[in-house]
């Protein structure tokens, strides 16, 4: 979340979809600003150098996610913009997937329009849009991974 990034990165100035009261309670009002918007209906995202999607993509269909990531790409500045995605990833061989990820995937598939992705699936989606330097950083202690890419 924007608040977690703000708490862990002392020099970060950010805008996020968090509630203003949560930002104030976290004592980040001087560096983190809440912005209103609808990620699906708005034509572009507010100007930024990096957009983060934490536990977002697993809720939506491949088509919706492609549209969101395309909107992020189109809204980023040329040659300096980045995207950061935080998700629990399905193992490439599927059978090595953590229990937490498999359980969440079952919830997403049965109750939402989404699913958990493999790293290769998100990498392919990002590269088709035009992102480059796609990196996957997996946590050794949690089932989460960060996928980071740049706009060329």
What pLDDT is recorded for position 23?
A: 77
Tell me: pLDDT of 103 over 80.
yes
Strands (E) in the chain, as ranges, are: 14-16, 32-34, 50-54, 82-88, 131-138, 144-151
Q: Which residue has the higher pLDDT, 123 or 49?
A: 123
Of all residues in the chain, what percent carry a pLDDT higher than 90?
41
pLDDT band of 9, cuts 50, 70, 90: low
Q: What is the pTM of this model?
A: 0.84
């Amino acid at each position: 979340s924007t608040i977690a990034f703000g708490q862990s990165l002392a020099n970060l100035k950010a805008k996020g979809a968090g509630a203003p009261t949560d930002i104030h309670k976290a004592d980040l009002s001087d560096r983190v600003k809440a912005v209103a918007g609808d990620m699906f209906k708005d034509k572009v995202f507010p100007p930024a150098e990096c957009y983060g999607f934490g536990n977002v993509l697993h809720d939506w269909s491949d088509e919706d996610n492609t549209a969101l990531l395309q909107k992020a790409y189109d809204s980023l500045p040329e040659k300096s913009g980045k995207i950061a995605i935080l998700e629990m990833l399905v193992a490439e061989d599927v059978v090595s997937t953590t229990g937490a990820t498999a359980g969440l995937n079952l919830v997403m598939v049965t109750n939402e329009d989404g699913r958990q992705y493999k790293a290769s699936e998100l990498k392919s989606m990002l590269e088709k849009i035009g992102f480059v330097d796609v990196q996957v950083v997996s946590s050794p202690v949690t089932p989460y991974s960060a996928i980071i890419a740049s706009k060329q």
